[in-house]
């Protein structure tokens, strides 16, 4: 052995550093392989558990699915989809705080991801935080999606509108609806969905146009007919509404809402004394029927108010209408064949006043009273 | 206490040590290899220690996961027979390994590392690292209620020690390598370098020293880089949104600190009570103790609480996200204390960090849950209380107050939680210290028949300073410009024999009456004192210096000037050997009384 070899290693730093570097590289490679094998094994295990979780979720066992997703995530913490599925399952089972923690951590990783933003939007919507929900929904609408980007963005906007309407934010919902309608592809299902939202947003004019657009392509679409009928009805276009509703009810007699609207619509058409083409006798009959109906409504409302000992001013208003009604009654009943035009106008004005006043005091009317009340809102009559 | 001043520091390696600690020759060759070069080399070595410790901890964590999946299956579910069989059978295997092959791997590893530092000159057998690796991985993987952090610390220290010995480092450096490796191992296990560095300084080394701090930090950082490289940079837990909205809510955290303090005492006292009693049982029972502990823990898991098995990080994460009701959280905290006590006192190798954090998280969540019921306006989520609870138990049980605060901050990455953490931890620490004066690590070392320095006692030890023994200046101070004859005339009527001389432009000297007389008789009476006196200067001290420093100087000169730090020519007082010794005598008498 020579003297250089006897020299302690510590006195040969370059040799030591070189040696340690080589050992470190070798150790890195070995541990890297080991870690890689470990990761693969963990990923395979995670995939198995994730698939099981999806099955459990599909079969309605969300709690078991959560456990599987959670365990899968424990084995593969970086997997975006596992975390998203877990967050969704947690949200669906009402564990919103935990779901939010997962989603926020996903959002921090990918703030542009449409699915994450949509999930956060839904969560915020569930919690009722409007501003946050709108922000996340907008992120989702303009975010990045994988395949079916347009459809996903559109669905996000549909959900946002639905949420806004649910929260009574009509102006914002209308603004979103206008954008949505402009971007809609020619797909009747989507157009129908948009039209239904327009009805909910009380934008009946646009809704009617949307339904008419659908009917041009699919004239027998019962849903579109019913929707168009409702939109026309809300706009006070009762003749058109009745036509749509009649066709819709004929194709789908089970649709109770359409049937009810049709009945009201028919009542309106049958009750309107100012409708064109009526004989004098029919016009007089309708006027008398309306006048009598209003008198009965006024009497029943006044007696219910008296029984409840309501505000004296209300009683006075009803009494004044009663006195007007009593004063006009002889003139309405005087002629056996015709009614003077000015008497008819005065009588119908009083009928409308009574229906509006009693609606305020005694709640919404039904049957002929409802028809008269709706007529009062389109003073020109159904032929306007 | 400093490392070099330790009474154990220079003790020879134990007779049973299978390898020589160092070559004495290395100390003699220091002239050939400068100190500066050695320091630089030591820093580079710290990086390598960090890398190797990180790699070892990566393998350790993989081993734990593999053994867990192999022994308990991929999912912990109650009523699974493996929950009973795995910890029992593995317990039997571990007891054989510990008794016959790896006798030094019992316990957590923190005390063994401290013992290496203070008793064995940094010597930790490499076999210990291997034994700790195998036994702890099997124990934790089979569901014993223990954690991987303390074993990682010991594995890191052991690797560092082996490397130091292979490189034939000096004894001093070899002693420093153990904490460097310990910090690397702990940092890698926790994925938190700051907490690891603080823990090693707070609990193992016990002092802040620039020399070792750099190495400890370098090794901790490099080990964390390695772990993140291979296992990803995800934190151990997903941290809930944390915010302290109203300062009044701090009261709720105080309550948590108080409850945590008591829980920490119960935890420490159970271990302190049962451990020596189980070790005193006949030797044959040692074979059965880990298995019996494993069986009992398995029973808890089998009958509905598998969460308490193993380290339990995934369940801490769930506790932080309101996954459990407060009743379940409280139950899990209680069961975890029982399970960890069983595992630890049975001599199964494994750490206490993870169980401590688990108990803290569950207890914090439970206290937070109850407080939310009693006071629904509290804004802090249950998860926030779980997070603070982890720090509380760390402060109360492991008695590392600084680390406990920084650990929560580092794990949460949220500094807005600092006030609740400090407050709650302080209460827990104070309660724990009052009811359990001896910290758990010190208790364990004393049960093992060792007397390692207690870091807590050192932290709280009052330091004697120069000002405590300093005396007022009664004799006149002579000036260097003063002629010898005049000085002799000034001191002639005084009793004192020795006088301080203020030299010009700075410095101090002293002159005795006899010397003044001799100078005058030699015809130097007209000369100034500055030119007549020998050129050597007196050392001087400042009032705030430790009295130990004075001790080094009072033997060189019977009278040492104590001067102001702002003006070295301004004399604050004087200190003499008698005054220093007298002060020490008084203090030791007071302590005895």
Q: Does A104 score more than 80 pLDDT?
A: yes
As a whole number of angstroms, the distance between CA A77 and CA B82 comes to 25
**Average pLDDT in the A9-15 region?**
72
As a whole number of angstroms, the distance between CA B408 and CA B394 comes to 10
**Average pLDDT in the B290-309 region?**
94
* pLDDT at A323 (0 to 100): 87
Q: Does B60 score more than 90 pLDDT?
A: yes
- Using CA atoms, how far residue B198 sits from A82, A370, A381, B82, B415, in Å, is 36, 80, 87, 39, 17
- Residue B33: pLDDT band (50, 70, 90) is low
* pLDDT at A4 (0 to 100): 45
**Average pLDDT in the A80-96 region?**
86
Share of chain B above pLDDT 70, in %: 91
Regarding predicted confidence, which is higher, B21 or B156?
B156
Q: What is the pLDDT of residues B179-221, one digit of tens each?
A: 899 999 999 988 889 989 988 888 777 766 666 888 899 999 9
Question: Which residues in B lie closer than 8 A to residue A71 (C-beta atoms)?
Answer: 74-75
Q: Does B117 score more than 50 pLDDT?
A: yes
The residues, any chain, with a CB within 8 Å of residue B21's CB and separated by 6 or more, are B12, B13, B120, B121, B122, B123, B165, B171, B174
* pLDDT at B156 (0 to 100): 93
* pLDDT at A8 (0 to 100): 63
A142 at the B interface (CB within 8 A)? no
A317 token code pair: 């208003």
Regarding predicted confidence, which is higher, B121 or B466?
B466
Ordered by start, the domain boundaries in chain B are: 32-231, 247-460, 466-592
Calculate how close chain B gets to A56, using CA atoms only, in Å: 16
* pLDDT at B557 (0 to 100): 80
- Residue A339: pLDDT band (50, 70, 90) is low
* pLDDT at A381 (0 to 100): 52
Cβ of B230 and A32 within 8 Å?
yes
CA nearest neighbour of B22 among B169, B128, B122, B120: B169
Q: Which of B44, B66, B321 sits opposite A17 (nearest CB)?
A: B44
> What's the CATH number for B466-592?
3.10.580.10
Question: Which residues in A lie closer than 8 A to residue B167 (C-beta atoms)?
Answer: 8-10, 16
CATH of B247-460, one of 1.10.3080.10, 3.40.50.1370, 3.90.1530.10, 3.40.50.1820: 1.10.3080.10
A294 token code pair: 């209003």
Question: Which residues in A lie closer than 8 A to residue B41 (C-beta atoms)?
Answer: 10, 13, 16
Cβ of B314 and A70 within 8 Å?
yes
- Residue A311: pLDDT band (50, 70, 90) is low
- Residue B535: pLDDT band (50, 70, 90) is confident
* pLDDT at A90 (0 to 100): 87
Cβ of B75 and A49 within 8 Å?
yes
Cβ of A9 and B166 within 8 Å?
yes
Q: Does B232 score more than 90 pLDDT?
A: no
**Average pLDDT in the A183-202 region?**
87
Identify the top-confidence range among A50-64, A320-334, B102-116, B372-386: A50-64
Q: What is the pLDDT of residues A49-63, one digit of tens each?
A: 999 999 998 888 888
Residue A20 buriedness (CB in 10 A; 0-12 / 13-18 / 19+): buried
* pLDDT at A229 (0 to 100): 92
B228 at the A interface (CB within 8 A)? no
Q: Which phi and psi (to 5°) does residue B313 adopt?
A: -60, -40
* pLDDT at B16 (0 to 100): 39
The three-point CA angle B359-B361-B364 to 5° equals 100
As a whole number of angstroms, the distance between CA B11 and CA B418 comes to 42
As a whole number of angstroms, the distance between CA B505 and CA B559 comes to 21
**Average pLDDT in the B540-569 region?**
86
* pLDDT at B17 (0 to 100): 39
Cβ of B74 and A71 within 8 Å?
yes
Minimum CA–CA partner of A103 in chain B: B238
Cβ of B238 and A27 within 8 Å?
no
* pLDDT at A335 (0 to 100): 63
Q: Which of A17, A32, A71 sits opposite B75 (nearest CB)?
A: A71
Q: Does B244 score more than 80 pLDDT?
A: no
Q: What is the pLDDT of residues B64-79, one digit of tens each?
A: 999 999 999 888 777 7
Minimum CA–CA partner of A74 in chain B: B314
Cβ of B74 and A35 within 8 Å?
no
Question: Which residues in B lie closer than 8 A to residue A31 (C-beta atoms)?
Answer: 55, 58-59, 230
Share of chain A above pLDDT 90, in %: 19
Distance from chain centroid for Cα B6: 15
Residue A173 buriedness (CB in 10 A; 0-12 / 13-18 / 19+): buried
* pLDDT at B59 (0 to 100): 95
Share of chain A above pLDDT 70, in %: 92
Task: Give the domains, in start order, of chain A with CATH numbers.
Answer: 200-271 (1.25.40.10), 280-377 (no CATH)
B247-460 and B466-592 share one fold: no
**Average pLDDT in the A324-344 region?**
75
Give the range among A49-53, B292-296, B448-452 with minimum mean pLDDT: B448-452
Q: What is the pLDDT of residues B399-444, one digit of tens each?
A: 988 888 988 888 777 777 888 999 999 999 999 999 998 889 888 8
* pLDDT at B8 (0 to 100): 34
Q: Which residue has the tokens 């010898």?
A: B484
* pLDDT at B2 (0 to 100): 35
Question: Which residues in A lie closer than 8 A to residue B242 (C-beta atoms)?
Answer: none
Q: Which of A20, A28, A35 sits opposite B48 (nearest CB)?
A: A20
* pLDDT at B9 (0 to 100): 32
B413 token code pair: 């990455």
Cβ of B58 and A102 within 8 Å?
no
* pLDDT at A309 (0 to 100): 61
A380 at the B interface (CB within 8 A)? no
On whether ipTM exceeds 0.90, the answer is no
Q: Which of B26, B41, B55 sits opposite A8 (nearest CB)?
A: B26
A64 at the B interface (CB within 8 A)? no
Q: Which phi and psi (to 5°) does residue B589 adopt?
A: -65, -40
- Residue A337: pLDDT band (50, 70, 90) is low
B409 token code pair: 């901050």
Average pLDDT, chain B: 85
**Average pLDDT in the A28-33 region?**
93
Q: Does A282 score more than 60 pLDDT?
A: yes
Q: Does A358 score more than 80 pLDDT?
A: yes
With a CB-CB cutoff of 8 Å, which residues 10-39 of chain A face chain B? 10-11, 13, 16-17, 20, 24, 27-28, 31-32, 34-35, 38
> A99 with A69: CB under 8 angstroms?
no
- Residue A372: pLDDT band (50, 70, 90) is confident
Question: Which residues in A lie closer than 8 A to residue B383 (C-beta atoms)?
Answer: 97, 101
Cβ of A13 and B62 within 8 Å?
no
> B441 with B114: CB under 8 angstroms?
yes
Q: What pTM does this model have?
A: 0.67
* pLDDT at B109 (0 to 100): 83
Q: Which phi and psi (to 5°) does residue B520 adopt?
A: -65, -40
Minimum CA–CA partner of B173 in chain A: A10
State whether CATH 3.40.1670.10 applies to domain B32-231. Answer: no
A80 at the B interface (CB within 8 A)? no
Q: What is the pLDDT of residues A150-176, one digit of tens each?
A: 889 999 999 999 999 988 888 888 888
Cβ of A11 and B75 within 8 Å?
no
Q: Which of A10, A13, A68 sits opposite B168 (nearest CB)?
A: A10
Eight-class DSSP state of A273 = T
Where b means 16+ CB within 10 Å and e means fewer, A194-223 reads bbbbbbbbebbebbbbbbbbbbeeeeebbb
């Amino acid at each position: 052995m020579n003297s250089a070899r006897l020299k302690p290693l510590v006195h040969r730093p370059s040799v030591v550093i070189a040696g340690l570097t080589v050992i470190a590289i070798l150790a890195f490679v070995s541990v890297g392989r080991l870690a890689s094998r470990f990761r693969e094994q963990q990923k395979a295990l995670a995939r198995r558990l994730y698939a099981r979780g999806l099955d459990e979720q599909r079969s309605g066992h969300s709690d078991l699915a959560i456990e599987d997703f959670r365990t899968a995530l424990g084995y593969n913490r970086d997997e975006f989809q596992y975390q998203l599925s877990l967050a969704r399952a947690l949200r669906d089972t009402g564990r919103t705080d935990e779901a939010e923690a997962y989603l926020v951590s996903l959002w921090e990783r990918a703030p542009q991801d449409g699915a994450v933003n949509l999930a956060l939007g839904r969560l915020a919507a569930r919690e009722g935080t409007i501003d946050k929900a709108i922000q996340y929904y907008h992120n989702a609408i303009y975010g990045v999606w994988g395949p079916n980007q347009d459809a996903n963005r559109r669905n996000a906007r549909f959900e946002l509108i639905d949420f806004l309407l649910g929260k009574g934010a009509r102006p914002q919902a209308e603004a979103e609806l206008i954008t949505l309608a402009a971007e809609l592809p020619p797909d009747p299902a989507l157009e129908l969905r948009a039209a239904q939202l327009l009805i909910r947003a009380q934008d009946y004019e646009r809704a009617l146009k949307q339904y008419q657009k659908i009917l041009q392509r699919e004239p027998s679409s019962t849903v579109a007919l019913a929707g168009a009928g409702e939109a026309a009805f809300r706009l006070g276009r009762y003749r058109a509404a009745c036509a749509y509703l009649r066709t819709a009810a004929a194709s789908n007699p089970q649709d109770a809402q359409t049937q009810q609207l049709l009945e009201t619509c028919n009542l309106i058409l049958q009750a309107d004394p100012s409708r064109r083409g009526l004989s004098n006798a029919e016009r007089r009959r309708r006027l008398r029927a309306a006048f009598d109906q209003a008198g009965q409504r006024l009497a029943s409302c006044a007696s219910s108010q008296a029984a409840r000992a309501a505000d004296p001013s209300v009683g006075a208003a009803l009494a004044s209408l009663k006195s007007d009604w009593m004063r006009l009654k002889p003139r309405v009943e005087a002629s056996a064949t015709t009614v003077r035009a000015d008497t008819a106008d005065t009588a119908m004005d009083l009928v409308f006043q009574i229906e509006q006043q009693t609606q305020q005091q005694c709640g919404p009317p039904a049957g002929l009273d409802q028809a008269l009340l709706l007529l009062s809102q389109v003073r020109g009559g159904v032929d306007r | 206490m400093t490392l070099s001043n330790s009474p154990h520091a220079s003790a020879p390696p134990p007779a049973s040590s299978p390898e020589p600690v160092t070559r004495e020759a290395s100390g003699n060759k220091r002239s050939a290899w400068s100190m500066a070069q050695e320091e630089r080399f030591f820093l580079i070595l710290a990086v390598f220690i960090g890398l190797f410790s990180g790699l070892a901890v990566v393998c350790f964590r993989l081993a734990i996961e593999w053994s867990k999946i192999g022994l308990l299956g991929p999912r912990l579910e109650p009523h699974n027979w493996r929950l009973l069989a795995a910890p029992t059978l593995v317990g039997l295997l571990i007891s054989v390994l510990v008794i016959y092959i790896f006798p030094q791997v019992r316990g957590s590893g923190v005390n063994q590392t401290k013992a290496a530092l203070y008793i064995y000159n940094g010597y930790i057998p490499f076999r210990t690292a291997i034994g700790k690796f195998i036994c702890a991985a099997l124990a934790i993987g089979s569901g014993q209620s223990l954690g991987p952090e303390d074993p990682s610390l010991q594995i890191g220290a052991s690797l560092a020690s082996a490397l130091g010995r292979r490189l034939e480092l000096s004894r001093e450096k070899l002693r420093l390598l153990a904490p460097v490796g310990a910090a690397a191992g702990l940092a890698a296990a926790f994925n938190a370098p700051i907490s690891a560095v603080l823990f090693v300084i707070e609990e193992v080394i016990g002092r802040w020293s620039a020399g070792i701090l750099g190495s400890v930090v370098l090794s901790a950082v490099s080990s964390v880089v390695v772990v993140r490289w291979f296992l990803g940079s995800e934190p151990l837990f997903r941290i809930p949104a944390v915010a302290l909205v109203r300062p009044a809510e701090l009261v709720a955290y105080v309550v948590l600190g108080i409850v945590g303090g008591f829980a920490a005492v119960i935890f420490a006292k159970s271990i302190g009570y049962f451990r020596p009693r189980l070790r005193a049982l006949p030797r044959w029972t040692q074979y059965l103790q880990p298995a019996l502990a494993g069986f009992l823990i398995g029973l808890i898991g089998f009958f509905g609480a598998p969460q308490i098995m193993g380290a339990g990080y995934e369940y801490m994460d769930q506790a932080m996200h309101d996954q459990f009701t407060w009743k379940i959280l409280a139950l899990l905290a209680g069961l975890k204390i029982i399970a960890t006590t069983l595992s630890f006192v049975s001599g199964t190798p494994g750490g206490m960090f993870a169980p401590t954090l688990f108990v803290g998280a569950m207890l914090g969540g439970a206290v937070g849950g109850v407080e939310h019921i009693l006071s629904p306006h509290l804004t802090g989520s249950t998860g926030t209380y779980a997070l603070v609870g982890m720090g509380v138990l760390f402060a109360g049980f492991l008695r590392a107050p600084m680390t406990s605060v920084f650990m929560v901050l580092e794990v949460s990455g949220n500094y807005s939680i600092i006030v609740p953490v400090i407050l709650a931890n302080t209460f827990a620490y104070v309660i724990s210290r009052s009811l359990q004066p001896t910290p758990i690590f010190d208790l364990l070392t004393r049960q093992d028949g060792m007397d390692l320095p207690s870091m807590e006692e050192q932290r709280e030890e009052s330091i004697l300073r120069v000002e405590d023994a300093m005396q007022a200046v009664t004799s006149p101070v002579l000036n260097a410009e003063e002629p010898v004859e005049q000085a002799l005339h000034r001191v002639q009527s005084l009793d004192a024999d020795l006088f301080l001389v203020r030299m010009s432009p700075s410095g101090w000297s002293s002159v005795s009456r006899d010397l003044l007389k001799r100078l005058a008789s030699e015809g130097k009476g007209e000369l100034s004192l500055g030119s007549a006196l020998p050129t050597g200067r007196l050392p001087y001290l400042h009032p705030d210096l430790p009295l130990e420093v004075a001790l080094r100087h009072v033997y060189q000169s019977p009278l040492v000037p104590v001067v102001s730090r702002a003006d070295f020519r301004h004399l604050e007082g004087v200190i003499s050997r008698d005054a220093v010794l007298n002060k020490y005598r008084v203090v030791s008498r007071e302590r005895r009384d």
